[in-house]
Every structure is written in structure tokens, then in C-alpha cells.
Chains A and B, each alone.
Chain A
């Protein structure tokens, strides 16, 4: 079953923060985050593997609450380059293939 992302869209000014959420009704093994710019391929950002794990690089970080089957992506002090559509891809606990089920995406627009 497809994970649900919220919000569907967000508009920010440069320097503002944003949070994108991803919720699943299924037990999850991991959550993957990707960013896709218009006309381009999705680009891998990070994987969250453990319950409560937080990861990040630069000013983008994420958390994974295994019990709640939720993950959140945090974008701090947003830059123009952060604009794009963000997808979470979920890997079920019962899967051993790495198969991902993607959410419907969250479109982020950062304005000067």
C-alpha cells in the first residue's frame, strides 16, 4: 500500500525551514528519501534503517519512527537548489528484495 506524504505542496522563502512527512499503514524495514527536479531522474538523498534513527547531511536530515511507521524529512535554512519534488520510498519488513513503494510526492518551491 502506498505511503501517504504530507503536505502535498509547500512554498518557502530562502532560509526558511520545512518538514515533509511520510506515513505507512504497513510495518516498515526502511524508508528512502529522493528528490526529483523537473524533467530529471529521482536522486537519492538518504536511507533510514532503524526505529528512531536520524540521519542527515548538510542541512537536510530525516527521522524514522518505526513504531508509528512514519518518517519525516527536515530541510533547514532552505536554498533555491532544494526546489523539487520529494518522494519517500518505503521498504516493507516482509520484503527481501529492496523493492520500494513510493509516496505521491511533495512539491517544494523555494523562492528568493
Chain B
């Protein structure tokens, strides 16, 4: 597709369940970023991939959060044993790669933990 595609758009799950959020970046974009955005706030960095390599995961809140991008294209962000505080908009962005490239954001996945 032309833009960054994320699925599902909405996810409602019970506390304690695992969730997997998917991101399909723009074709040809080697850099992929995951952000979390609380209502009324700016995106908060979670993790970064260059091709399939996860080069920065400093923003992941704890070890319940993990991400992968096994073939250097589609990425999955997984949250295990979800808690209510995990409720947020999770956004993926991609860029051509390297420093100072425009990042193009997807429409996000709105995660609600009951």
C-alpha cells in the first residue's frame, strides 16, 4: 500500500491476555519505529529496527513488551500479560533509513485493557 498500515485498528482485551499488534511499513523503508501515544500527548518512543535488526529498545517499558521484524518488513509488537496501564494508542512509523529522514506514521492501534 501507499502508507504505513497497522492492524487491528482497535483491540479490546481483558487484563492478563497477550496481544500482538502488526505494522506493515511503506515499501522500501528500511527503518521502522514503534511509538506509544497517550491522549493529548506526543508520541513516546518504544523501539527501532534497521532492516530486521532491533537496534534500540530503550523505550520498551518492561520485559512484557517485545517486538520483532524477522524479514525486515512487517513488524509485530507483542505485549504479554496486559495491564490496564498498557491502554494507549500504539503507532508505527517508517522511514527510508538513517538519520534525519521523515518518519511516516500509521493510523495506529487503539488498545484498551479491561
Contact = CB atoms under 8 A, between A and B. Distances in A.
Interface stretch (B17-25, B67-75, B80-88, B97-105): B97-105
Give the bracket for the number of chain A residues in contact with chain B. 20 to 34
Contacts, number: 69
Contacts of A101: 45
A100 B103 contact: yes
A40 interface: yes
A99 B45 contact: yes
A98 B31 contact: yes
Interface residues of B, number: 26
Contacts of A99: 33, 45, 48, 56
Given A99-B48, A105-B42, A91 B99 contact: yes
A95 B103 CA distance: 16
Interface of B: 31, 33, 40-45, 48, 50, 55-56, 91, 95, 97-108
Interface of A: 2, 29-30, 32, 34, 40-44, 47, 49, 87, 89, 91, 95-105
Closest 4 CB pairs of A and B: A102-B42, A41-B105, A44-B102, A30-B100
